[in-house]
Chains A and B, each alone.
Chain A
Amino acid sequence: MTKVEALKQRLARIWSLIVGLKVTGTFFVSPQITVHYPRQTVRNMETFHGPVELVPRPDDPAKPRCIVCMQCVSACPSKCLSVVPKPQPRASAEGQEAHPKPAEAKGDKAAKKPAAKEPLKFMYDFTLCSLCGTCVETCPVGSLRFSHDAYLAGPDKAAFVYDLLARLAGQAAAGCGRAEDKGSARVDDRGAKGGV
């Protein structure tokens, strides 16, 4: 490198010091990037993955789409979900006589439509959850999704064991559902949003 080039390089390096000062000086007078909680809150939370919640049925917002297949319970790597199905009423003898199976009378194979199962209890231990989303992906009916709850605080661990059915009922009563909840009436349709 010639002397002139070396000098130019040195001057460029000294100039970079001034440029650095200009950069930080501009930052000093620019508005802050920090969202200063609790005085300010983040406004666009649609992409936020908060604790998991149940998705309501389009026809009955207080009920979840859940069919108690237990796939989420077995798929969860942290074992934080526990689901108890509602006990099904046993078919009475009267009912069987009043409605003979017409297909069998014809001799065809009976196409039994199983009674839809509903969850009686759906407990979610957020203290174990790692927000991996396996339960959300695994659910065949799209009954689980990430909520947008970012501002969580509680005094003890018990505050973070959620009763998801109670939460859903509360959301239905308050009318705070999402726009995509009013979708197809079919139970096994994962909705227009096509999963999470």
Chain B
Amino acid sequence: MRFDWSFWLAALHEIPEEFVRIVAALVALCVFIPANALVLVYLERKVAGHVQRRPGPFEVGPHGILQTVADALKLVGKQLFRPYGADRVLFWLAAILAFAPVFVLFLPIPFGPVLTTLDVNLGLLLILAFAGVNVLSICLAGWSANNKWSLIGAARGVAQCVAYEIPLLLALLAVAFMKGSLNLSQIVQGQGNWPWQWNVVTQPIAFLVYFVCAVAETNRSPFDLPEAESELTAGFHTEYSGMGFGMFFLSEYANMIVVCAVAVSVFLGGWKGPLLPGSWWFLGKVYGLLLVIMWFRWTYPRVRFDQLLNLNWKWLMPLSIANLVLTAFVMKVV
């Protein structure tokens, strides 16, 4: 019997277009995220080196470009073991949960004029909601490791993430008020090609608050208490070896890209820019912000835990609320 092409072609047309888009995007993300993590880890070490006036990785490959590949191979090759007394299910679930939401977070981001997987009206909310899963994974990691320092590190990490989500949300809300939509593509469309046409001009305080909160959410210096504890006593991911740690590591860099992408889309004009195609501008701006985050890491000393929370509750929260009220007032009255 001959293969019935017409039946199967008709069946293919029945598949919803959104499904095909999402599958194609997930496949592309499976390449994009690890490739970016590779480049970012290398860039981080090189930037760290040059800020400290030393070469950074240099031996593995020309100028050390294969260093991250070697590190990844090392991580993959290590034994995965669970400490005695650690919760059987939660221990590995925490590692998986760290990386699981990352793919979802990338879906609403407008990489270019047509390169948006999920052009939904609640794109921003989707990102903020799934970023909360990262907090859960920190909590589970610290609890399930059966280690008092992991627990304390995780408790600090959770407190930090939960606290800094509020001004983050309020800053983004101010822009949503102005643009009237939580759809990232529409927010980008509402901005122009040139820097004076971007949202950062009309909402500078929101941008600063958002950026500080983003750095804190991703546990980056100077807010890297959950990670730094591993240098001092222990951190939430101390009991993980090999790829377990690799999951947390990868998810940190992926989350960095997500928060920078949101910052670029909401405040810095997204993919809009003169001359070059949109996606080049988008990636260029995201990498610019990532370099700034790395710059922060090698400039500022770590904040103490009480300073961290003070900064949030006494400064960022009132600032973001005031900004929101002012925005609402200006929108309605003026």
Q: Does B50 contact A (CB under 8 A)?
A: yes
Interface residues of B in 254-305 (CB under 8 A from A): 295-296, 298-300
Q: Given contacts A28-B47, A28-B50, A32-B50, is CB(A23)–CB(B55) below 8 Å?
A: no
Q: Does A20 contact B (CB under 8 A)?
A: yes
Interface residues of A in 25-41 (CB under 8 A from B): 25, 27-28, 30-34, 36
What is the CB-to-nearest-CB distance from B23 to chain A, in angstroms, rounded to a whole number?
Answer: 41
* Contact indicator B52/A27 (Cβ below 8 Å): yes
* Contact indicator A27/B53 (Cβ below 8 Å): yes
A32 is contacted by which of B53, B295, B296, B300 (Cβ under 8 Å)? B53
* Contact indicator B53/A23 (Cβ below 8 Å): no
| A3-21 interface bits toward B, Cβ cutoff 8 Å, 1 = contact, 0 = none | 0000000000000010011
Which residues does chain B contribute within 8 Å of A20, judged by CB atoms?
299-300
Number of interface residues of B (CB under 8 A): 13
Residue of B at shortest CB range from A23?
B299
Complex Cα spacing A24 to B296, Å: 9
* Contact indicator A21/B299 (Cβ below 8 Å): yes
* Contact indicator A30/B299 (Cβ below 8 Å): no
Complex Cα spacing A21 to B299, Å: 6
* Contact indicator A34/B53 (Cβ below 8 Å): yes
| B174-218 interface bits toward A, Cβ cutoff 8 Å, 1 = contact, 0 = none | 000000000000000000000000000000000000000000000
What is the CB-to-nearest-CB distance from B312 to chain A, in angstroms, rounded to a whole number?
Answer: 16
A17 is contacted by which of B52, B55, B298, B300 (Cβ under 8 Å)? B300
Most buried by A among B50, B299, B300: B299
Q: When A and B form their complex, which 4 residue pairs have the shortest distance between CB atoms, in order from nearest?
A: A34-B54, A24-B299, A33-B53, A20-B299
What are 30 A-B pairs with beta-carbon distances under 8 A? A17-B300, A20-B299, A20-B300, A21-B295, A21-B299, A23-B299, A24-B51, A24-B298, A24-B299, A25-B295, A27-B50, A27-B51, A27-B52, A27-B53, A28-B50, A28-B51, A28-B295, A30-B53, A31-B53, A32-B50, A32-B53, A32-B54, A32-B55, A33-B53, A33-B54, A34-B53, A34-B54, A34-B55, A36-B55, A36-B58
- Residues on A lying within 8 angstroms of B by beta carbon are 17, 20-21, 23-25, 27-28, 30-34, 36
- Residues on B lying within 8 angstroms of A by beta carbon are 47, 50-55, 58, 295-296, 298-300
